[in-house]
Amino acid sequence: MPTKQRAKLWQLKTIKPGNILPHISENVRIELILAMPVAKITAVENMAIDDAVDILQDLPDKIVEKVFNLVAIDLILQ
């Protein structure tokens, strides 16, 4: 799928990153994740652990730290 079409599709509110990210190529996954708001990246907390680890290890450390912080805050508020 062309990049522009993929970006438009990714912005739909019905898209659930946790269901899609584990099943797309690494390059596309990184491109989409870097375009996402960090809060949406916390979808990893609903993934299988091995899928979440695969995705997080591809991200820059700064983003991984933000994701961990958001997930930790979410767990505290539950």
Largest Cα–Cα distance of the chain, in whole Å?
Answer: 40
Beta strands in 1-78 (DSSP E): none
Sequence-distant (6+) residues with CB within 8 A of 1 are 9
Task: Find which of 14-18, 45-49, 57-61 is predicted with most confidence, using mean pLDDT.
Answer: 57-61
Predicted confidence at residue 75, as pLDDT, reads 62
Distance CA 78, CA 76 (A): 6
C-alpha span between 72 and 43 (Å, rounded): 13
What does the pLDDT read at residue 33?
A: 78
Residue 65: is its pLDDT beyond 70?
yes
d(CA 60, CA 58): 7
Q: What average pLDDT does this structure show over 47-75? A: 80
